[in-house]
Every structure is written in structure tokens, then in C-alpha cells.
Amino acid sequence: MLQTRRDFLKAAAIAGTIAPLSGVRDLAYGADSSRDKVLVVLFLRGGCDSLNLIGPCNDRNYVEDRIAPLRVLDSGDKPGISLANGLDPAIDFRLHPAAAPLGDLYKQGHLAIVHAVGLSNETRSHFVAQDLIERGAVSDAGDQSTGAKSSTPIESGWLARYAKLVGLDNAGPKAVPVLSASNAVDKSLEGFGAALAIPDLAGGVGLAGGEQARAVLSALYADQPGDIAEAGRLTLAKFATVDAGVPKGPDGKPMPYHPEGGANYDEGGESAGRGLAAIARIIKMDIGLRVASVDMGGWDTHQGQQYRFGVLATQLGRNIAAFWNDLAAYHDRLVLVTISEFGRRLRSNKSNGTDHGHAGAMLVLGGRVNGGRMYGKWPGLATPALDRAVDLAVTTDYRAVLAAVAGSGLPSQRVAQLFPGYAPGSPLPILRI
């Protein structure tokens, strides 16, 4: 079998045997029972300001140290949405008003929030933090939370390891259990050996060169031995599976998608709407999708954060709510978790933005989520409690949240394989098994 997508693409490029694939960068194998969990990971790239998304409105340090336009307010024309069951009964935690649909999901008990969560590694580098999180690590030198050292860095993505643990590499060639709703396979899926990359289904799923290219490649790979030919056959089979699920008009062109449940995806700008809509459509094709990743960029708000953050919060709320409403028939199987590489500083900068910080927040949505409450431990915003005297401190390891949503129902020894070297404490009761 083909070991890595890079090996395949490199070999194919050298051989000149495969045309560019519209949206497909990799392969995916197999699926388990249709009753099993569908795990979707939404990465908020750029460093989402958790204190602007879920703010401790009445915290004296929050009020004194952060300018009003970058705070969630408890009064005025646009007060934040009050959140019951916060981390501290004395703190009035509220959600940014632009993300109102998330407040509705929270009140309905479908959405949980984990605050003051992140990497124990104190890097403020986008590249380093994203790389570590997607690999499920904290440091290439070992686990800083336990002091354990390792001479073997974790190279595969944590979602790739999860996909293997639940047996997604053991089904037929036409199943599509793993998807990256991006132009390329996310790093979190590297090492699975195969995953489809499809950022959008609005224009259909087809090979560059159309049916003629498909016929030529099918004939080329039909009886050839070796990894490249096998990878080519699998790619074409999976391509055809997804393409067959996209309704076509009399002219053969894809018909417009009509989401269910009154869902309305926001597909503009840095929005994840197109990717979430593609994931929803493929889930409803019932071709075995069990793991999916999708990105939403634009959260690096060094300048003019007030307007930019409002737009992003609006898109985030609308798209998560649209995804939920579109998949009403799948709620008991669905788990969506958001993550960002880090949060932002407590104090704003001179450009009315915020610089790279430390702890952030994660959202967990699903039919089996113990929602309507916040998880974690609130460290406070007094200067002595801040990380490096400037950032919200991390009190919950991000892996505790991922282990809670991905590892629910798996034996503990298998959960340990998801995050090598990680020694979890008491499990977070985010999901009902």
C-alpha cells in the first residue's frame, strides 16, 4: 500500500502519469458502522481572541486592562449573550453578540465551552503552535506537562492516529471515511496514508480534463502492479463515489445545494461555510464519512480588531448553526470541536488589535454533548495570574478536550495512542457515552 501522500504525488509527478486532480490530494479507506461517531475538527487559524469571544464581563482586570471595543459587554446597545454554568459563579461570562447562534446552541444544551485551554508549550509562533496541535504534541523534545523526554518526535497527525484506531483503514475502495475540506490534506491527517481533500462541492468533483481524462487514467491503471497504480485506482474510485452523490441537471452540471432545516451557510471571506457545507453533503451521501477537518482563517487580529472580529464571530456562529441544522438526522452521531493555536493578549496594542497570547477557548457541539456549561478552571486576569504577566494562562491542556471528544468509548490504552506521552488527569465529562 502507498505509505504517504507525498510519496505518491512525488512519484506520480516524476512519472507524469496523473493529471492534476480538482480538489483531491489523497485517498481514504474504509468505514465502520453507520451508527458510529462523525468527528469534525474546525481549526480557527490565526489565533482566535478567546477573551473577545467569551468574555468575563464583570472581571475588574478585564474592564480596566482591555479597551471597550475589544471586550464583551454586559450592557449597552449590543450586550454579550449571558452564559449559564460558567467557570466561576462570581464571573459573568458572556458570548460575543455577533455569535448569537452559538448562544442558542449553548442554551439548548448542545454546545459546551472549554476556556483557558491550550498548549503547555509557550510558543507564540503560528507555525510552531499549529504544527504541534495538529500532531497532538506539546514539544518535539517530549511532554512538558509530565517531564517525559522523547528522542522520537511525533510525526503523524493526531486525527490520522484516531482514524486508524477506529479502523477506518479497513474498508472498501469506494468508502470515503476521511475528508479534509481544504485544498490540501490538513497536517492533522498526515500519516493515515490516505484522505480525500475536497474544499467545495458547488462546482462538482471532477478530474482536470473531464471524462476523457478519467477514461485514460482508468485504462492506464487498470492492470498495472505497484503502489502508484493502486493509489490511482483508489483515487478514481473514491472520486467517482463522491461525484455520483452530487445531483446533476440535464446538462450534466451540478445542481445547487439546498441545505435542510432552514440552514444558511455563510460562504464569504475567511468563512468555513463552503467546507462545512461540503462535509454535510458528504455525510448525507452515507458513504462512510467518519472524520473531517476544516479550516477558518483570519483570526490574526493585530489591527482593527473590533470590526474584523465581529465579522469572524458572525461567520463562525452562522456556519456552525447551519451545519447543525443541516444535519438534524445525524445529531446523535455528530461531534464538532473547534480549536485555535493560541489566544490573544489581555491588553490591546496601539493598532486597536491584540497580539499573540497563550490560552484560548474550545467549543464542542453534538447530540451527545453535555452542553450548556463551561469546562476548565478560570485562572483570573490579575497580573500575577497571567502567563508572562500579559496572557490568559493555560489551565486545561488542549489534549484533554480532544481526548474527551475523540476517545469517548475507546479503551484507555487506545486513547493513550492518540497522544503519546500525555498523562491525562480526570477525564472531562463533555460527552455522554
Least trusted range by pLDDT, from 26-40, 83-97, 120-134, 239-253: 26-40
What pLDDT does 289 receive? 95
Confidence band of 240 (pLDDT split at 50, 70, 90): confident
What pLDDT does 206 receive? 63
Question: How many helices and strands, by DSSP H and E, does the chain display?
Answer: 12, 14
* Cα–Cα distance, 369 to 411 (Å, whole number): 19
Predicted TM-score of the model (pTM): 0.88
| Residues 238 and 173: beta-carbon distance below 8 Å | yes
Q: What is the pLDDT of residues 314-351, one digit of tens each?
A: 999 999 999 999 999 999 999 999 999 999 999 999 99
Q: What is the pLDDT of residues 183-225, one digit of tens each?
A: 889 999 998 867 888 999 987 776 666 676 667 767 767 777 7
Q: What is the pLDDT of residues 245-263, one digit of tens each?
A: 999 999 888 999 999 999 9
pLDDT higher than 80, residue 10: no
* Cα–Cα distance, 179 to 183 (Å, whole number): 11
∠ CA 322-277-274, nearest 5°, is: 110
Instruction: Work out the mean pLDDT of the chain and round it to a whole number.
Output: 86
Confidence band of 14 (pLDDT split at 50, 70, 90): very low
How would DSSP label each residue in 319-346?
Answer: HHHHHHHHTGGGTTTEEEEEEES--BBS
Of all residues in the chain, the percent with pLDDT exceeding 70 is 85
Q: What is the pLDDT of residues 214-228, one digit of tens each?
A: 677 677 677 777 667
The one-letter code for the residue type at 146 is T
Element (H, E) at 55: strand 54-56
Q: What is the pLDDT of residues 48-61, one digit of tens each?
A: 999 999 999 999 99
Core vs surface per residue 139-160: b (16+ CB within 10 A) or e: bbebbbbeeeeeeeebebbbbb
C-alpha cell at 128: 510552531
What pLDDT does 408 receive? 82
* Cα–Cα distance, 99 to 321 (Å, whole number): 10
pLDDT higher than 70, residue 146: no
Of all residues in the chain, the percent with pLDDT exceeding 90 is 67
Q: How far is CA 220 from the centre of its chain?
A: 37
C-alpha cell at 276: 462545512
What pLDDT does 142 receive? 52
Q: 3-state DSSP call for residue 204?
A: coil
What are 386's strand-pairing partners? Answer: none
* Cα–Cα distance, 419 to 377 (Å, whole number): 22
What pLDDT does 7 receive? 37
Least trusted range by pLDDT, from 27-36, 65-74, 114-123: 27-36
Q: What is the pLDDT of residues 294-311, one digit of tens each?
A: 999 999 999 999 999 999
